[in-house]
A and B are shown apart, each in its own frame.
Chain A
Amino acid sequence: MFNPSRVVVAGASRTRDKIGYEVLRSIIESGFRGDIYPINPKADKILGHKSYPNVSEIPDHADLAVVVVPAESTLEVAENCGERNIHGLITITAGFKEVGPDGAELEEELLKICKRYRMGLLGPNCVGMIDTYSPLNASFAPCMPTQGDIAFISQSGALGTAILEWSAKERIGFSKFISLGNKADLDETDFIDALSRDPRTSVILAYVENIKRGREFIKVARKTTLKKPVVLLKSGVSESGARAASSHTGSIAGRDVSYNSAFKQSGVLRANSIEELFDYAMVFSTQPVPRNDRIAIVTNAGGPGIIATDACESYGLKLASFGIDTIEKLGRDLPSNASIYNPVDVIGDAKADRFEVALDTIMEDENVGIVLLIMTPQIVTEPKKTVRMLSELHQHFPEKPIVTSLMGGDSFYESLNILSSHHIPCYPFADRAVTSISALVRYARVLERPGKLIFPRYDANKPFVRRVLKKVAKDDRNVLLGHETTAIAKAYGINVPPTKLATTQEEAIEMADEIGYPVTVKISSPNIIHKTDIGGVKVGLSSPDEVKNARSEVLVNARRLVPTADVYGVEIQKMIPKGLELILGMSRDPQFGPLIMFGLGGIYVNFLRDVSFRLAPMTEETAFEMMQETKAYTLLRGVRGESEYDMDAVVDTILRISQLSLEFKELIEMDINPIVVYSKGDGVSALDVKMTIDREV
């Protein structure tokens, strides 16, 4: 699809303003050097190119066909293209899945034809594709973007064309632009994969509303981000946005936490707005990845310097502490009222030479990884001279990223051009500059990750688990009972207190004797999730009489408060010592698979929400990382004189849950709340384990 030698335009038109005309014109005007074959049964020639009545009659083999015929004619065109061994089909035509079920069926037929002939299908219902290096504009975008090293993949054609036009004004260049359309075949994952190997692309940007093949995306993105940054904007984050996205795509919008986890784990940088997407693109396409993450700020205005400092802190960025030599030199060479500590304020009357002194000194300092220059227009400021000096300085220190913010208007216009021509990013406001720097720093951390991931594997009694799940399904249940979940947890080496199901009073007493006092009695019902809320749990029972009474009480409470619940009996469980209560959970994301949750547990978990998420499979490092994102981690390290808790045991349990959820796809939800953690070396105990299955899997 990239770099074709010959292009077919099926549905080329002689009439101006028709898509078939405009697409052909775009291809021609883009400077495409190969042969172009317009297809139109009613024309001999269009825009100076011989036209053919159908694809079958083109004289030579073509690599790519751009299809703009009406929807109902696309199947025939696709067949013809397949017979002529064309490898790529860009179907701009609309009228498929996006118009309803009938259109979806047509799209399915089109896809079948493409699969049969092994043709890659982009679209349908897309704007097309642009390659600025071929060069080839196989789209109906209004303009050909400037050549650059940014590739942009967009699920919205309209957004894509808007960005292309805006980019010309902002002097942003692209290597490729790809409009995904309905993603019937080729999707974001395919293009990220292809662009990872494209030498003309050094940054990959994407706008998506959903990700079709979640697990494949993670694999591809993980490999890609070790080579070049991938910056992605995903919409449908808010409740209303998700609704709009579902309307648009006819697919589940997907949990944002799943997407966040997928991006974190694959090293994809997430932009939160269109502005951020391109701010990041600008910095990645012009600046190197920093070797250290300490920032030095140089400014001629105190206020913006403080704003930038605040922004650094909010992004978790650190200001560089200058070396003694740097401080001494700055103290010597700058006016006495200048600020020589970071942020360096060269004050309002600074001309280019003073900026040069400050920047030259700072750039030499080994403690400085990144430099941010903030300039405001004062009456004596020499913006052009300053930025020229900066550009030259940058050539002496190519390994240190430089980012600028010229906070003004017309007086900076020419300076902006100078910076752009020297590939130094410039932002209108300091906080935007800092946001972009934070992306550089985050990407530097992505590159520090190991190339090869090691996922621990544990021995587990899988046949036993299979039997339990089968029995549950046979019982027409999708919620497992407590004694079943603890048995499964045990089969995977997760420490659980002994738990048995008693269906009669006699059994309850026998089991309590067997397990050993003290015990807990809990109502056993797949319909009662929050047992404590209905008085379905009695703890600290130390005798047969107490067990008998507790059993009666929980049964009465259940019948009274949840009369429709299916009650199987009561669970008798060994009481465990107190410890720190955490929560571990899993829910199966339709796009990405098992999403593991960790956090502070107990009955208030839904209100405290001190939780973090990652997708399975996980490494030990990933498990630690997710723990570190929570306040619970601080507690685990021990506070107020408490000793450290057994974090290794927690990590171990997280990884076992990850393995269990990968090996049993019928498990769609799991909750261990609480999992009680003890001091270092004393392990954990999973006190209350809940599991839900999908019987149809």
Chain B
Amino acid sequence: MIKSLFVISDGPECGKTLLSMGIALRFKNEGYKVGYFKPVATEMKIEDAAPIDEDVELMKHVLDQDSSTEDMAPVMISHEFLEDFTSELREEILEKITAAHRKLSKDFDILIIEGARTPNVLSHLDLSSISLAKIFNSSLLIVSKGSDDSIVDGIVHYKKMVDSEGCPLVGCVLNNIPRQFTGRADKFVRKALEGNDIEILGVIPEEKILGSPTVEGVHEFIGGDLVEGKDHQDKLIEGIYIGALSTEGARQYYSDFRDKALITGGDRADMAVAGIEAGVSLLILTGNLYPPNGVLTLARLKKVPIILVPYDTFTTVKRLDAVTGRVKLWDKRKLEVYEQTVSEFVDWKYVLKKVKGAD
């Protein structure tokens, strides 16, 4: 069977896709034909009446993979999946997955297989990520994120499940680790995991750029009128501030405004100007109140986009919350950053050795 690395995480949003991408590219650079496979996808959107998985689209593009998206992601699970439950469902799904796997195996030397949102998905059909890894004879890699010592327990828990299925575990990667925790992770967490026979193959520090949506991404979610800054929609937004205080009261927060989105009323010229001067990435003006010329002029000078929305602040914030959970990775800068990050912080050579050497 084709050599494969099955990447799972002990929770959602741990960075499986980016890690898979980084490792795949490193393997490719070593001369291997590397393909990406996501047997069970849960994060889909509908485009042209068809469901697609954005991660698959990304990987297809980054790896320049010729395979069809149906083969790369043969099974898409909706949030109402139990409505489709039948006694034959397991066989149907397994057949789709193994057929796709067979096809991809013909075209590549190594498959990077990404697990579902969490390893538990489809456990009720005995098709969890670990079960699939066993079927494919894959080596497993666990990705985890966290900011305190409790990061250990999720990893150890899944390691025990991997062991009970008899699958080989290559090791784990700690991803998106806050900088103040990396030292501790290297010292205490490593010791605790090694005591459970788990190798840490990388401690990747937090990189804000990766979790940040662009102005364009935000505009897509919240709607409204982009009244200024059409050419600067690639700016990244690292957080959100609401400008409701007086300018004097808000002064203590100005140093934090840089690279953030600032939401304020269109009649708050003082706050808008302060935000622009402080280096916000985006100004969102609520209540459909058109800002005065002075604000527009300054925004153009400082290259700050302005979006005018008809809703109130609360509604705008709720919509923005949804954006940060669905950050598009399709930003060239982010991809470059991540590729370099994996090279620098992950012992991918060890991973390759283990994958190649697996029976």
Contacts and interface: CB of A to CB of B under 8 A. Distances in A.
Contacts of B298: 250-251
A642 interface: no
A622 interface: no
B258 A100 contact: no
A21 to B, nearest CB: 28
Given A246-B273, A476-B208, A587 B294 contact: no
Interface in A213-269: 239, 242-253, 255
Interface string B141-176: 000000110000000000000000000000000000
Given A478-B255, A478-B256, A253 B270 contact: yes
A567 B148 CA distance: 10
Given A250-B295, A668-B255, A669-B255, A101 B300 contact: yes
Interface in A583-623: 587, 590
Contact of A255 (B178, B248, B255, B273): B248
A559 B150 CA distance: 13
Interface in B270-319: 270, 272-274, 277, 279, 292-301
Given A104-B300, A243-B268, A250-B294, A566 B178 contact: yes
B87 interface: no
A421 interface: no
B247 interface: yes
Contacts of A255: 248, 251
Interface stretch (B42-50, B90-98, B179-187, B343-351): B179-187
B246 interface: yes
A696 B258 CA distance: 9
Nearest to B148: A559
Interface string B249-260: 001101110100
B257 to A, nearest CB: 10
A348 interface: no
B55 interface: no
Contacts of B270: 242-243, 245-246, 252-253
A248 B292 CA distance: 8
A249 B273 CA distance: 10
Interface string B224-255: 00001000000000000000001110011011
A252 B255 contact: no
Give chain B's interface residue range (CB within 8 Å of chain A).
35 or more
B58 interface: no
A563 to B, nearest CB: 10
Contacts of A693: 255
Interface string A144-165: 0000000000000000000000
B269 A247 contact: yes
B293 A98 contact: yes
A435 interface: no
B297 A100 contact: yes
A101 B299 contact: yes
Contacts of A668: 254-255
Given A104-B297, A253-B247, A566 B180 contact: yes
Contact of B293 (A250, A587, A590): A250
Contact of B251 (A475, A587, A694): A587
A673 to B, nearest CB: 13
Q: Which of A104, A479, A559 has the most CB of B within 10 A?
A: A104
Interface string B172-209: 00000011100110000000000000000000001010
Given A101-B299, A242-B247, A692-B255, A475 B294 contact: no
Interface in A656-674: 668-669
Interface residues of A, number: 43
B297 A250 contact: yes
A80 to B, nearest CB: 27
A255 B273 CA distance: 14
Interface string A90-117: 0000000111110111000000000000
A104 B268 contact: no
Contacts of A251: 273, 277, 294, 298
A590 B277 contact: yes
A459 to B, nearest CB: 29
B297 A101 contact: yes
Contacts of B256: 478
B295 A247 contact: yes
A695 interface: yes
A246 B180 CA distance: 40
Nearest to A253: B270
Contacts of B248: 239, 255
A315 interface: no
B247 A100 contact: no
Contact of A475 (B179, B184, B273, B277): B179
Contacts of B299: 101
A479 B268 CA distance: 27
A446 B121 CA distance: 79
Interface in A62-99: 97-99
Contacts of A97: 293, 297
B258 A249 contact: no
Interface string A518-532: 000000000001000
B184 to A, nearest CB: 6
A29 B256 CA distance: 57
Nearest to B188: A504
A305 B345 CA distance: 83
Contact of B273 (A100, A252, A669): A252
A504 B191 CA distance: 15
A568 interface: yes
A342 B148 CA distance: 76
A246 B293 contact: no
A506 B254 CA distance: 37
A531 to B, nearest CB: 15
A655 B277 CA distance: 28
A100 B252 CA distance: 30
A543 interface: no
B228 to A, nearest CB: 7
A549 interface: no
Interface in A634-663: none
A503 interface: yes
A694 B254 CA distance: 10
Contacts of B255: 478-479, 668-669, 692-694
Nearest to A695: B258
A105 B301 CA distance: 9
Contacts of A103: 293, 297
Nearest to B179: A475
A260 to B, nearest CB: 14
A247 B297 contact: no
A99 B251 CA distance: 28
Contacts of A504: 184
Contacts of B206: 476
Contact of A567 (B180, B267, B279): B180
Contacts of B301: 101, 104
5 contacts: A97-B297, A101-B299, A243-B268, A246-B273, A251-B273
User: Which 10 pairs between the two chains have the least Cβ-Cβ distance?
Assistant: A250-B294, A101-B300, A247-B292, A247-B269, A246-B269, A104-B297, A100-B293, A246-B270, A568-B180, A243-B270
Given A239-B248, A478-B256, 16 more contacts: A101-B300, A243-B269, A244-B269, A245-B270, A246-B272, A247-B294, A247-B295, A249-B294, A251-B273, A252-B247, A252-B273, A253-B270, A255-B251, A475-B179, A478-B258, A566-B180
